[in-house]
Amino acid sequence: MVGSLFMTISSLDQLQALVGQPAGSSEWVTVGQDDICRFGALTGDEQWIHVDTNRASTESPWGTTVAHGFLTLSLLSRLAFDVIRLEAGQSSVVNYGLNKVRFPAPVRAGSRVRGHFVLLACGPVPGGLELVWKVTVDAENEPKPVCVAEWIWRVLAGTHTRGG
């Protein structure tokens, strides 16, 4: 552990010992209305429940606008960078996908969220390792998590060059 914020992992043995154990929790990140509006404009999802603060204040069941589920999901990388640093000779770590994703509660505009990471599995794949993380994202003062996901990383070993 470096400081109190993130864990530096420098060996396969260290990764394997982490399976089933909490890796840590990220810093809080504020999801503001500007973030929500920019995400809506970028993705074309400008549904009123996300971007119309006046209408949401009177018609939304949450009394305010809420972040898109995919905006919450897109924050996983930022939250992970607060918690985990892999330095085991890999050339890169890539997002391989997700097994499961749920959004049990909304992220209200202006909420602070943080991620909690547990390594579920670590195993070899051609060219490197596959890591499966359980990520639980909670929002401050929200009793239920706002996102629960199984996130797969591929850790590519050695140095890779482009073929041509």
Tell which phi-psi region holds residue 141, choosing left (phi > 0), alpha (psi between -120 and 50) or beta: left
Split into its structural domains, the chain has a count of 1
What's the pTM value of the predicted model, to 2 decimals?
0.84
Structural domain includes residue 162:
no
CATH number of the domain that residue 149 is part of: 3.10.129.10
Structural domain includes residue 20:
yes
Structural domain includes residue 1:
no
Contact 112, 139 (CB under 8 A): yes
Six token digits for residue 25: 């929790």
pLDDT at 121: 93
Structural domain includes residue 96:
yes
Q: For each of the chain's 164 residues, which pLDDT tens digit applies?
A: 333 345 556 556 677 778 888 888 999 999 999 999 999 999 999 999 999 999 999 999 999 999 999 999 999 999 998 888 776 555 678 899 999 999 999 999 999 999 999 999 988 888 888 999 999 999 999 999 999 999 999 888 765 444 43
Q: Which domain holds residue 11?
A: 7-157
Contact 100, 150 (CB under 8 A): yes
